[in-house]
A and B are shown apart, each in its own frame.
Chain A
Amino acid sequence: MTDTSRRSSLIGRNLLAGAEPDVAGDAGHDGHPPRVGFFTDTSVCIGCKACEVACKEWNAIPEDGLDFTGMSFDNTQGLDASSWRHVAFIEQSKPLGRAEAAVDHSDVDVLALAARGSGTPVAEAAITPTSPASSPSADGQTGLRWLMASDVCKHCTHAACLDVCPTGSLFRTEFGTVVVQDDICNGCGYCVAACPYGVIDVRPQDGGAHKCTLCYDRLGAGQEPACAKACPTDSIQFGPLDELRERAAARVEELHRVGVADARLYGHDPEDGVGGDGAFFLLLDEPEVYGLPPDPVVTTRDLPSMWRHAGAAALTLLGGVAAVFAAHGGMSGRRTGRWGR
């Protein structure tokens, strides 16, 4: 596609909402690489927080509080200016698929398993997250399931933070990701209020907004982001978005087949309220259980209507005041003495 044809193709298109196949091209990048992102498969997350640590280390993010929350193993609490990966821990008294937590492992020789190393084929593993169990235990115990999910900036197709940034500090990279330029950000905080996922935040220490860059520096050097590199179970998968979507669809089908009926994708749909996420998830429960909004919508989708309503209100004020003054008329005899007394 040539320059001119692409530019003219933008005319009349709504770039504020809906599916947008060439997000980097629409941002003005010519000959850009394919859009990349994360597929976070929470069904294999083990809650090790290696992603959190790798992110902090690589991006040199300062410490932001050492709290003990009592929220299972989650002391990070959420994404903010100094936490760009956040592992959520949810404890539920509910089995995972047909797996059963109360299964008897007394005959398993753990030392023999350990000697075999970590490369146990799935078929031979004593238990996997999707292991079928024969029947519930005699006492009806259903056990506990522990959901773990590593959350991150979604790098939305329609990124509200980027749309509302008044300085141009936030921008769309050639990889289709959204990055803050720290040397331009003036800390107005508009992006914080605009993000429908509660990702970006202002760091009190330096007054600037910060969030996941999808390791823009590493991408430029042909490296995958630090969190994906560090993830020991491939719960965090990095790659071209199209490929990730295919992989995710296959994975969710596989989970349904083995009885994990709760598995569903989140943020994968280009028709959703933010035009699809660059970082999407396979979840085992409703999004809000993980602290994610169930149906986020980019606020700027409604912006044309907002400007129209504001225009109508402005005209109402102008017309209303003019009408009031017209009704009361001029002060006769005062016209000439303009400067009054």
Chain B
Amino acid sequence: MSESDVTRDGIRGARPDRDALVGKGMGNGERRGRKGGKGRKGDQSMVPRAEFTSYYGRPVLNPPTWSARDVAGYLFLGGLAGAGSVLAAGAELTGRPVMARALKVSSVAALAGSTAALIHDLGRPERFVNMLRVFKPTSPMSVGSWLLMVYGPMAGAAAASDVARRLPRAGRAATVGAGLLGPAVASYTAVLAANTAIPAWHDGYREMPFVFIGSAATAASGMALLVSPVAENAPARGVAVLGTALENAAVKAMERRVGVVAETYREGRAGRLMRAAEALSAAGALGGALLGRRSRTAAALSGAALLAASVCTRFGVFHAGIRSAEDPKYTVLPQRERLDAQRQRPDAQRDRPQDG
């Protein structure tokens, strides 16, 4: 019999017992103290381990219907296109024509690929155009569709003008325009992922844009190192270091933020991909910085490593999200901890932490 006293304000006393073993997740959830967790004054060590139960181990959430190739591929290509446009504008304005042209072309190709992936992932691809029925700031997918509608023609015009060597002034204007919109294209996808109920994506919403921006910069600098002559690649080497540092720092910060959900970024397929991304980006950035100015081959290899790192990050984030949706532990445990922390406070106000 339960020892607890269930009142309308919550449970007083001991929690009801859990002698019925429902679900395989029962009792194996470890409680991890979150360091410096916002508004969590409750002493975590008072509760030795989290009780966590589920309905026959079934997920609470419906896992996303998105395919890894299409959506993670879209995240990578979108980042490559967006950050590539920024680098292309920089290269053009500082007189690095080979790098500028190559990045403009790669941005258009990446954009075409990412749009194709996005459409292919729809359940009803023939209705893609319905994305443009409305403009909804609450839907990052709607915002992104409109953003691509503006950015796409600009990036296209920039590349076309450069390749065809026509209308240089309009081409430069398009290059600068695409360069200004590029960061938005590269960062909105973080909101796209974070604005879901998927714990690994939503809970890290503060850091996710920096992970994605870092990964986009890594990819674009990799492309630049791959295609630029040694004489022009100095900024690409700098951006590679910047992107790698930003991405890895943001990933670490995000893992600290999400508590127990960080397991999904550290274990399994996502864990392998995230570790590969870390190693590849470090190797690429370091190789580019040390050898990229002397050897064209070393620069190209570094560039390839940086591109691969960005692919690994995107697929790693994607798979961490899927895993966190498929295992009820990552839905139930953080929410249960949140409720318990509220109840432990003397005046159990329902003040959930807003953003900081």
B87-103 interface code vs A (CB 8 A; 1 in, 0 out): 10011011111101100
Interface size bucket, B side?
Answer: 35 or more
Contact yes or no, B194 A165, CB < 8 A:
no
Cβ-neighbour of A293 out of B60, B86, B183, B202 (below 8 A):
B60
A contact residues around B339 at 8 Å (CB): 294-295
A264 at the binding interface (Cβ < 8 Å)? yes
> Which B230-255 residues sit within 8 Å CB-CB of chain A?
231-232, 234-235, 238-239, 242, 246
Q: Give the CA-CA distance A256 to B8 in the complex, in Å.
A: 10
Q: Give the CA-CA distance A69 to B125 in the complex, in Å.
A: 34
B216 at the binding interface (Cβ < 8 Å)? yes
B contact residues around A261 at 8 Å (CB): 2, 4-6
B contact residues around A10 at 8 Å (CB): none
How far apart are B230's CB and chain A's nearest CB, in angstroms?
12
Contact yes or no, B97 A339, CB < 8 A:
yes
B contact residues around A208 at 8 Å (CB): 123-124
A95 at the binding interface (Cβ < 8 Å)? yes
Contact yes or no, B53 A289, CB < 8 A:
yes
Contact yes or no, A321 B239, CB < 8 A:
yes
Contact yes or no, B94 A310, CB < 8 A:
no
> Which A177-231 residues sit within 8 Å CB-CB of chain B?
184-190, 192-202, 206-209
Do A321 and B123 form a contact, CB below 8 Å, given A164-B138, A331-B96?
no
A contact residues around B136 at 8 Å (CB): 163, 165-166, 168
Q: Give the CA-CA distance A170 to B48 in the complex, in Å.
A: 44
Interface residues of B (CB under 8 A from A): 1-2, 4-6, 8, 16-17, 19-20, 22, 52-56, 58-62, 64-66, 83, 86-87, 90-91, 93-98, 100-101, 121-125, 127-128, 130-131, 133-134, 136-142, 145, 162, 165, 168, 180, 182-184, 186-188, 190-191, 194-198, 202, 205-210, 212-213, 216-217, 231-232, 234-235, 238-239, 242, 246, 325, 328, 331-332, 335-336, 338-339, 350, 352, 354-355
Listed A/B pairs (23) with beta-carbon separation below 8 Å = A78-B62, A92-B22, A188-B122, A188-B141, A189-B65, A192-B65, A193-B66, A195-B61, A201-B62, A206-B123, A262-B2, A262-B16, A293-B332, A295-B339, A302-B355, A305-B205, A309-B206, A309-B207, A310-B190, A313-B187, A317-B213, A318-B180, A338-B168
